[in-house]
Amino acid sequence: MAKKVAVVGIGHSKFGKRPDVTIRELAHEAVFPALEDAGLSAQDIDAVVVGVAGDEFAAQGSCAAVINDYIGMQGKPLYRVEAACATGSAAVRTAWALINSGLAETVLVVGAETMTHVGTPRATELMAKAGDTRWEYPFGVTFPAFYALMATAHMHQYGTTREQLSMVSVKNHKYGAMNPYAHLRKEITLEEAMKSVMICYPLNLYDCCLISDGAAAAVLASEEKAKKLTDTPVWIIGLGAASDNMMIAERESLTSLKATRLAAEQAYKMARIKPEEIDVAVVHDCFTIAEIMAYEDLGFCKKGEGGKFIEEGQSYIGGKIPVNIDGGLKSKGHPLGATGVSMTVEITRQLRGEAGKRQVEGAEIGLSHNIGETGQYCFVHIYKR
């Protein structure tokens, strides 16, 4: 019989440039606060799911095994998950499935990545190889270029402006400055965002997320176990997952991510809710245009109105649906394997009323949206207090 699944413990390392730690040490920073939060020890965990996107970043093969040893989980069933930038959410979904199927009662999910250790040029090259290495990567197409194509298409088709793109960055930096775990805790003005150095037109420096090191962890438990562990379980009530063509040239559209639309449809159907019932969301803002497209693809606003949505302040606290009030990838940072788990941590914190100055009052239903590559992977999770 299928089982209900809840998040019962969360932990988070500081995101940023962390030359002081290895990937195993970063994971440790997140795991033990999560176990303490759940009131569990390593002996109480039935299985471990580790999300690490790229061993080359850490200069260590089989990162999951190294992390598992360091956190004292030897002997437990161990799963390594990889789905590019959506690796962390794939790990959460895997843990949910283990519990839902009855194979485990408590599962530890860990997402971790050390990206800055290899330097920016090498990190950019490694990520670019996630594009098609026959028809995209050899021609110098990096991730800013992929999303620049989407941005120019959106601007042409819907009249989205450079200023609206920068407004996303201003919002996310506003909230990232309040997040003690964020990589870049710095508020910026619209003028600063607009005038920053161009990376790939129309995307400039403040339109692009950070290359970061970091880790996040969550403990998931069955309903029977969760009710014994906590008075504030956060239930995962809807999940959706989808994919799209590998090559961006073969996509049906450059102004929408098909994988997001399909995954969101599945998650809403499973949770039996509509988009307007979401109280708080974290979405994959690897570039500012990605957040604007997410507003539309997730049903927060009509197609083509994402720019208007941010301009009217609808994704701020007090707006229609507060989005990325942890700073998002843009300000909090984007350690590939950790991002999706970090999203679960943030929504759990919000639904438990523990987000401090960033708290959305009365939040009961939350959503996380995590994209891998440029839409080749997508995971949407819906949570309820």
* 192 SS3 class: helix
- Which amino acid belongs to residue 276? E
Element (H, E) at 76: none
Most confident of 51-60, 130-139, 241-250: 241-250
> Do you find a cis peptide bond into 202, omega within 30 degrees of 0?
yes
Q: CA–CA separation, 206 vs 41, rounded Å? A: 41
Per-residue model confidence (pLDDT) at position 92: 98
Q: Which residues contact 110 (CB under 8 A, 6 or more apart)?
A: 27, 30, 31, 48, 49, 50, 51, 67, 71, 91, 215, 216, 217, 341
First-to-last CA distance in the chain? 23
Render the burial of 286-309: b for 16+ CB within 10 Å, e for the rest.
bbbbbbbbbbbbbbbbebbbbbbb
Range with the lowest mean pLDDT among 117-121, 196-200, 244-248, 353-357?
117-121
* 182 SS3 class: coil
Mean pLDDT calculated for residue range 191-204: 96
Q: Which of 85, 208, 209, 378 is catalytic?
A: 85
pLDDT tier at 118 (50, 70, 90 boundaries)? Answer: confident
**Average pLDDT value for the chain:** 95
Give residue-wise pLDDT tens across range 32-42.
999 999 999 99
pLDDT tier at 313 (50, 70, 90 boundaries)? Answer: very high
Mean pLDDT calculated for residue range 241-259: 93
Give residue-wise pLDDT tens across range 326-348.
999 999 999 999 999 999 999 99
Helices then strands, counting H and E runs in the chain, come out as: 14, 11
Per-residue model confidence (pLDDT) at position 1: 52
Alpha helix ranges (H) inside 51-112: 55-58, 63-70, 87-100
Whether the Cβ atoms of residue 342 and residue 332 lie closer than 8 Å to each other:
yes
Render the burial of 91-122: b for 16+ CB within 10 Å, e for the rest.
bbbbbbebbbeeebbbbbbbbbbbbbbbeeee
Q: Which of 12, 173, 334, 369 is catalytic?
A: 334
Helix 23-38, helix 63-70: angle, nearest 10: 50
Element (H, E) at 146: helix 143-158
Mean pLDDT calculated for residue range 375-384: 97
Residue 304 has pLDDT above 80, yes or no: yes
Q: Of all residues in the chain, what percent carry a pLDDT higher than 90?
A: 88
Q: Which residues contact 210 (CB under 8 A, 6 or more apart)?
A: 183, 184, 329, 330, 331, 333, 334
Q: What residue ranges define each of the domains in the chain, with the CATH number in brackets?
A: 5-119+212-234 (3.40.47.10), 126-211+236-384 (3.40.47.10)
Residue 161 has pLDDT above 80, yes or no: yes
334 is a catalytic site residue: yes
Map tokens 């690490």 to a residue. Answer: 52
Q: How many CB atoms lie within 10 A of CB 249?
A: 11
63 is a catalytic site residue: no
Q: How far is CA 262 from CA 3, 375, 380, in A?
A: 24, 11, 9
Residue 197 has pLDDT above 70, yes or no: yes
Residue 132 has pLDDT above 80, yes or no: no
Per-residue model confidence (pLDDT) at position 3: 82
Give residue-wise pLDDT tens across range 60-109.
888 999 999 999 999 999 999 999 999 999 999 999 999 999 999 999 99
Residue 358 has pLDDT above 70, yes or no: yes
Per-residue model confidence (pLDDT) at position 262: 98
Phi-psi region of 299 (alpha: psi -120 to 50; beta: other; left: phi over 0): left
